[in-house]
Structure formats: C-alpha cells, structure tokens
Amino acid sequence: MDHHHIVRVCEDDFARFGDTFQGAGWTKSEEHADRRYAVMLDLMTAHERPYTLLDFGCGAARLLDYALRTGRADGLDYTG
C-alpha cells in the first residue's frame, strides 16, 4: 500500500474530526473505542500491581484518558 495514501487518510480524518476518536481513525463510535481500551487494560490488570505501560504511538493518550475517567489508573505507571 502506498504510504502517502495512509498519510492523507490520517491527515484528512484529523482535519475533519479534530482531536477525537474519529480524528485518530480508530473507530466509528466512542463506545467502540472505550471497549478497545477496556480490553487493553483488562490484559494489564490481570497481573499484579503496580504495572507499567509504555503506550508507544499513543497519539493523544486516549488510553490514559480512559483509565483516568473510569478509575482504572490505580497502580498504573504510564509512559506515553
């Protein structure tokens, strides 16, 4: 796939929707994005706390926002 096309799609999504789940091109609804974040954190929280998360390529740190908003940041050492 042409990487220029991918860049254009990402730039267009961000220009159209701004700093939102849609602007990141993740999904069609905030509820779907929240489900993805929940699954990711479920994988982390199944282990002993504290736990460390390197959110590489995190963009606007939406996973951290979700963790804080839902009370799931306790014991989380977040870098992103």
The pLDDT of residue 1 is 64
Which residues on adjacent β-strands are paired with residue 51? 76
User: What type of residue is 34?
Assistant: D
pLDDT in tens, 19-64: 887 887 776 788 888 998 899 889 887 777 788 888 887 677 888 9
Cβ atoms < 10 Å from Cβ of 1: 5
Determine contact, residues 32/38, Cβ cutoff 8 Å. Answer: no
